[in-house]
Amino acid sequence: CFYPIPDPSFKLDTYLGKWYQVAGYSFRETAGGECITAQYSLNPNGTVRVNNGGRAGETTIGAIGTATPVGKEYGKGGAFVVEFPQGFPSGCPGPNYIVQEYKKGDYSIVQTQNWDTLFILSREQFPSEEKLAKLIDRAVKLGSNATEIIPFSQEGC
């Protein structure tokens, strides 16, 4: 298994809150989805509550899970094992949510082990086309596959 390097400047307290998925790879329930959001909040035990939502056509989609920070052997921070009750086994023992790049209050580029899934998240629901293009370009420079990246619509949400 290969694990991308997480952003060493990652700080969980500033990462919590609502994010909009503006681009990424087509992924399970979010394939063909729109209005995809992620809401992160701290649990009393130090794990993170993950509340993903959106819609696919007329169907509301969502999942609630838990993100557990992993050890420093995977980086200084920004690497988690995210688990959902419905289970999505990865086949790798380490983190499956790795914040490769994070700009506080702005954006986050998140990869999984072996570059299997990409999430480009924004605090802005509607980033400009220019900004979105720059985020996609940055994800590619970090190792993501350009041909698999698609925009996710936030229109009409």
Average pLDDT over residues 134-150: 96
Distances in whole angstroms, Cα of residue 118 to Cα of each of 23, 72, 152: 8, 22, 12
Residue 87 has pLDDT above 80, yes or no: no
Please report which confidence band the pLDDT of residue 115 belongs to, taking 50, 70 and 90 as the band edges: confident
Looking at residue 30, its pLDDT comes to: 66
Helices first, then strands: H and E counts in the chain: 2, 9
By C-alpha distance, which of 91, 92, 90 is closest to 74?
92
Looking at residue 88, its pLDDT comes to: 66
Looking at residue 27, its pLDDT comes to: 72
Count of other CB atoms within 10 angstroms of residue 60: 10
Q: List, for residues 4-52, the tens digit of each pLDDT value.
A: 999 999 999 999 999 999 999 987 666 778 999 999 999 999 999 999 9
Predicted TM-score (pTM) of the model is: 0.93
Looking at residue 28, its pLDDT comes to: 66
Least reliable range by pLDDT among 39-43, 116-120, 130-134: 116-120
- φ and ψ at 39, to 5 degrees? -120, 120
What is the third-level CATH fold of 12-151? Answer: Lipocalin (2.40.128)
Looking at residue 29, its pLDDT comes to: 64
Any idea where the domains of the chain sit in the sequence? Answer: 12-151
Q: Are 21 and 36 in contact (CB under 8 A)?
A: yes
